[in-house]
Structure formats: structure tokens, C-alpha cells
Amino acid sequence: MTPSEWQQYELWAEKKGQWGKVASFREFDLASTLLRNYKYRMRLVRVSYQDGAPVLNEVLAEVGATRREP
């Protein structure tokens, strides 16, 4: 990777039907540890950036309530 390319791990939470980024980390271990401590519906996403813009998003894990109750 060049200096204008990097990857980071992001935690995203769903609240009221909207996804929003909670935090981002360079290290997978730290991101995955924090993911397990949340009670909300969360996603761990690996994001690749190039020239400051995201070019690839990969959902690695999703935890929490994954179904809606009727």
C-alpha cells in the first residue's frame, strides 16, 4: 500500500433504522474486542481507502439483534 492507501476497521451501529459509524481503528483485535461489548446491533467493517475516499467496504461480523419483532 502506498501512503495514499490504507485500511481500517470501523464499528457501525444501527439505531432507529439508520446505520452510523461509532469508531474506527487500525488494529483488528481492538475493534473486534469492542464489538463484543456492545448491546446494540453492530457491524465490524474493514474499509479500504485510496486518496482519502473509501473504495471497498467488507462486513466482517454483525452482532446484536438481527431480526425485528413484529
Q: pLDDT (tens digit, 0 to 9) for every residue of the chain, 70 residues total?
A: 667 899 999 999 998 889 999 999 999 999 988 888 877 789 999 999 999 899 999 999 998 865 555 5
User: What pLDDT score was predicted for residue 68?
Assistant: 58
CB count within 10 Å of CB 9 equals 21
pLDDT value at position 70?
52
Model pLDDT, residue 16: 86
pLDDT for position 11: 95
Residue 68 gets which letter from DSSP?
Answer: -
Which residue reads 446491533 in cell numbers? 41
Q: What is the pLDDT of residue 53?
A: 92
pTM above 0.85, yes or no: no
